[in-house]
Amino acid sequence: MPEARICEMAPRDGLQSLNKEKLIPADQKVALVNALTDAGLDFVEVGSFVSKRAVPQMADTIDVAANITKPDICDLAALVPNAKYYEEFKSSSLNMAAIFVSASEAYSQFNLRMSIEESMTAASAVAESAKRDGFTLRAHLSAVFQDIDGSDSDLKIATDLTRRLIDLGCDHVALADTKGTTHPLRVRQVIAHLAAAVPLDKLAVHFHDSFGMGVANALMAYECGVRVFDASVGGIGGTPFKDLAKGPGGGGNVVTEELVYMFHQMGVETGIDFDKLMVAAKLVRDIAQFTGDLAPPSKMLR
Residues 67-89 have pLDDT tens digits of 999 999 999 999 999 999 999 99
Percentages of the chain per state (helix, strand, coil), in multiples of 5: 45, 15, 35
Provide the domain count of the chain. Answer: 1
**Is the pTM of the predicted complex or chain greater than 0.85?**
yes
Q: How far is CA 189 from CA 146, 152, 158, 169, 245, in A?
A: 12, 11, 13, 25, 26
Spatial distance between the Cα atoms of 40 and 270, rounded to a whole number of angstroms: 9
Burial of 28 (0-12, 13-18, 19+ CB in 10 A): middle
Q: Are 233 and 277 in contact (CB under 8 A)?
A: yes
- Are residues 207 and 254 in contact, defined by beta-carbon separation less than 8 angstroms? yes
Mean pLDDT of 243-248: 44
> Average pLDDT for residues 160-182, to the nearest whole number?
96
What was the pLDDT predicted at 1? 67
* Of the candidates 97, 128, 102, the residue with the CA atom closest to the CA atom of residue 117: 102
CA distance 175 to 229: 10
DSSP H/E element including 179: none
pLDDT, position 245? 44
CATH number at residue 242: 3.20.20.70
Residue 243 has pLDDT above 90, yes or no: no
| pLDDT at res. 268 | 98
Query: What local confidence, expressed as pLDDT, does residue 111 receive?
Result: 87
Q: What is the pLDDT of residues 91-121, one digit of tens each?
A: 999 999 999 999 999 999 988 899 999 999 9
212's torsion region: left (phi>0), alpha (psi -120 to 50) or beta? left
Domain that holds residue 90: 5-301
Is residue 255 over pLDDT 90?
yes
pLDDT of residue 244: 44
